[in-house]
A and B are shown apart, each in its own frame.
Chain A
Amino acid sequence: MKYIDEFRDRKVVQALAQEIRKASTQPVKLMEVCGGHTMSIQKFGIPALLPGTVELISGPGCPVCVTSRSYIDKAIAYSQQKDVIIATYGDLIRVPGSESSLEKEHAGGAQIRVVYSVMDALQIAREHPQKKIVFLGIGFETTAPGSAVAILQAYREKLTNFFVFSAHKVMPPAMSALIDEGVKINGYIGPGHVSTITGMKIYEGIPAKYGLGVVISGFEPVDLMQSILMLIKQIETGNTRVEIQYKRAVKPEGNVKAQQMMNEVFEPADDWWRGLGVLKESGLKLRSKYSAHDAEVNISADGMVPLREPKGCICGEVLKGLKKPKDCRLFGKVCTPRDPVGSCMVSSEGACQAYYLYNR
């Protein structure tokens, strides 16, 4: 299959593995910040291909994982208001809130629909003018432009029954916060999808301020192996910088149109991240011009339950790369994809689920 098979070529992967072994003289820890990378790394069995000197650790790049429980609690509270239909991407359905999950509320009769695109949520709003459609806007710079497009469209069509509950976040503040917190890594495997939108400039503070390299990577085995090699060469030569490995998708300037739409609709706001706490200007909230489509402004969250965090869950430390899923005493025992305690076990991009499925 074109554009896939070339990047899963066993010979090329093995050759890159050989080159990595040759180039790597000192122990390094590389962090993949993107949940999609975490999943690919485990799915293709990449760690088995690397020398003992190279350790990969997972970062805070799974949107579901870093989102607070109170977001789920609020979404559930919305789902219980009269005339509300919740539209959401599938990966939020099973995430536990303090007392329940959207899946359980759905079984109890709440109107919750899984959509594959925010545009489907918009269509539901058009088809049900008497209902209020709340789209759960979650994700980084990858999905935020989609939400922005839908909001702009709703604004133009005067679709007064379409709302977005934004937990959208931006990546760079978290990448800096991790280092500021003392997490010891030697380089970042930069997020591929986020960067198709943002371009490479947003990462320039990382080498400038911390002396760490960032290589923006694709998601196939050849991409990941090549990115790891590029990072190791940067580290070994001391020439750390931002580089793009994923050139077939990422332009240095990114997708300018998507950036403009995002800026038109959203403004930066302080936001809470699991494991990292409140990070300055790390979230995206709707600008006041579009507040008619802001769920938090327009929909009552009456009946929202008080926040209760699970005991013993170390999701926060896993997201910072301080601990591995296997270090958690709940992992695989009390906490499984079937019965997840923490969000890192629920999300298909979560480090705990990736380890549970592929590397137990």
Chain B
Amino acid sequence: MKDDKILMGHGSGGSMTHELIESLFVRYFDNPILHEQGDSALLKLHGQNLAFTTDSFVVDPVFFPGGNIGKLAIAGTVNDLAVSGAVPKYLSVGFILEEGFPLDELEKIVRSMSEEAKKAGVFIATGDTKVVEKGKCDKIFINTSGVGEIDDNLLAISSGKNIKAGDKIIINGGIAEHGMAIMAARNDMNISTSVLSDCACLNGLIAEALEVSENIRFMRDATRGGLGTVLSELVRKKDFGIQINEDKLVPKDSVRGMCELLGFDPLYVANEGKLVMVVAANDADRIVEAMQANPLGKQAAVIGEITSEHPGKAWLNTSVGGKRMIEMLSGQQLPRIC
């Protein structure tokens, strides 16, 4: 069956989203920069390398444990720039507001955007406001775009073209917190839990890692499709494979409990403050140590490695000693997670 309408799964960040991008957006907007399809576009203006990115936020509910749509909108764009190896500098903010949305809630959102931008060291340089009739959007949608500067010697990070067999894979902590925090906050679930979203700007943490190593070969924030989707995207059509050790992944007990209860695989649940890095084996310990000194990287660990075996595939060594493949999320796991 071919789709003739947009389905919720087209927004999942998994294989349906990819298909839509490739069969429609890339087909019409085609140019060499877009082709790279990194987290940010890499541009050259008068000899200076720039990273440029955009993201829209439609999370439901607007306020959730550990953050709100505004904090998410700043962190999301800052992180897309930072994982490309860029230093985030300037952001734009576009609001689409529903008639009747309480002003004090809007102020709360704007205040946390301002706080988050200060923490990340970025300026909100321009913006736009639109209001639509009640019922034509759900409370508030935010778009943020951002530009950052990027060093010549970090240009390869975005594509990961220097990845080699033997490289180590690092993550900065437990997975699946954002997705489960949103799930718990939705009032139709009737779940009370201490799970907080991990939503945070990662540019500081990334800068500290880049200080101790020149051999960071790839970075990506594991958002919508979770860690599993990042890993399977990374090996797609490549001449290397990935091996991950499940027992090195340390989701919090509260998060694991919710995943068990609701039948989610934590590998595919969204994060908003988790960073996947591929680094040279010799530098791995040093990088992990540097990350652990930052509150956002306290539980940083090597979780696996790049291998020349099974090219194009990511495998998980399960905690009980079995093996299974990690595939890209297809269809939707959770709609409107960010």
Interface residues of A (CB under 8 A from B): 1, 4, 8-10, 13-14, 17, 42-49, 94, 96, 99-101, 103-104, 106-108, 116, 120, 221, 336-339, 348, 356-360
What separation, in Å, do the CA atoms of A99 and B2 have in the docked complex? 10
Report chain B residues within 8 Å CB of A9.
320
Closest Cβ of chain A to B242, distance in Å, is: 15
Inter-chain contact A44/B324, CB cutoff 8 Å: yes
Inter-chain contact A100/B325, CB cutoff 8 Å: no
Closest Cβ of chain A to B48, distance in Å, is: 40
Inter-chain contact A8/B319, CB cutoff 8 Å: yes
Report chain B residues within 8 Å CB of A108.
5
Inter-chain contact A101/B323, CB cutoff 8 Å: no
- Per CB-CB distance, the 6 closest pairs between chain A and chain B, nearest first, are A45-B322, A358-B324, A337-B330, A338-B330, A13-B320, A107-B5
- Asked whether A107 and B6 contact (CB < 8 A) given A96-B1, A338-B19, the answer is yes
Inter-chain contact B320/A120, CB cutoff 8 Å: no
Report chain A residues within 8 Å CB of B104.
none
Name the CB-closest residue of A to B228. A357
Inter-chain contact B322/A46, CB cutoff 8 Å: yes
Partner of A221, one of B19, B188, B320: B320
Asked whether B309 is an interface residue with its Cβ less than 8 Å from the other chain, the reply is no
Inter-chain contact B319/A48, CB cutoff 8 Å: no
Residues from 288 to 323 in B contacting A, C-beta threshold 8 Å:
313, 316-323
Residues from 1 to 54 in B contacting A, C-beta threshold 8 Å:
1, 3, 5-9, 15-16, 19
What separation, in Å, do the CA atoms of A120 and B260 have in the docked complex? 21
Name the CB-closest residue of B to A360. B325
Report chain B residues within 8 Å CB of A45.
316-318, 320-324
What separation, in Å, do the CA atoms of A357 and B8 have in the docked complex? 21
**B275-290 vs A: 1/0 string, CB under 8 Å?**
0000000000000000
Name the CB-closest residue of A to B260. A4
Report chain A residues within 8 Å CB of B318.
43-45, 221
Asked whether B135 is an interface residue with its Cβ less than 8 Å from the other chain, the reply is no
- Can you list 21 contacts pairing A with B, beta carbon distance less than 8 Å? A4-B256, A13-B320, A14-B320, A43-B265, A44-B318, A44-B320, A44-B322, A45-B320, A45-B323, A48-B323, A99-B1, A104-B7, A107-B5, A116-B189, A120-B188, A221-B318, A336-B330, A338-B19, A357-B327, A358-B324, A358-B325
- Of B15, B247, B265, B327, chain A has the most CB atoms within 10 Å of the CB of B327
Residues from 233 to 279 in B contacting A, C-beta threshold 8 Å:
247, 253, 256-257, 260, 263, 265
Name the CB-closest residue of B to A46. B322
Report chain B residues within 8 Å CB of A100.
1
Inter-chain contact A1/B320, CB cutoff 8 Å: no
- Asked whether A359 and B324 contact (CB < 8 A) given A104-B3, A336-B330, the answer is yes
Inter-chain contact B1/A101, CB cutoff 8 Å: yes
Name the CB-closest residue of B to A356. B327
What separation, in Å, do the CA atoms of A104 and B7 have in the docked complex? 7
**B184-209 vs A: 1/0 string, CB under 8 Å?**
00001100000000000000000000
**B210-246 vs A: 1/0 string, CB under 8 Å?**
0000000000000000000000000000000000000
What separation, in Å, do the CA atoms of A45 and B188 have in the docked complex? 34
Report chain B residues within 8 Å CB of A4.
256, 260
Name the CB-closest residue of B to A109. B5
- Asked whether A49 and B331 contact (CB < 8 A) given A107-B7, A338-B19, the answer is no
Report chain A residues within 8 Å CB of B313.
360
Report chain A residues within 8 Å CB of B253.
1
Instruction: Other than A14-B320, A221-B322, give 16 A-B pairs with Cβ distance below 8 A.
Output: A10-B320, A17-B321, A44-B322, A44-B324, A45-B322, A46-B322, A48-B322, A49-B321, A100-B1, A104-B7, A116-B189, A221-B320, A336-B15, A338-B9, A358-B325, A360-B327
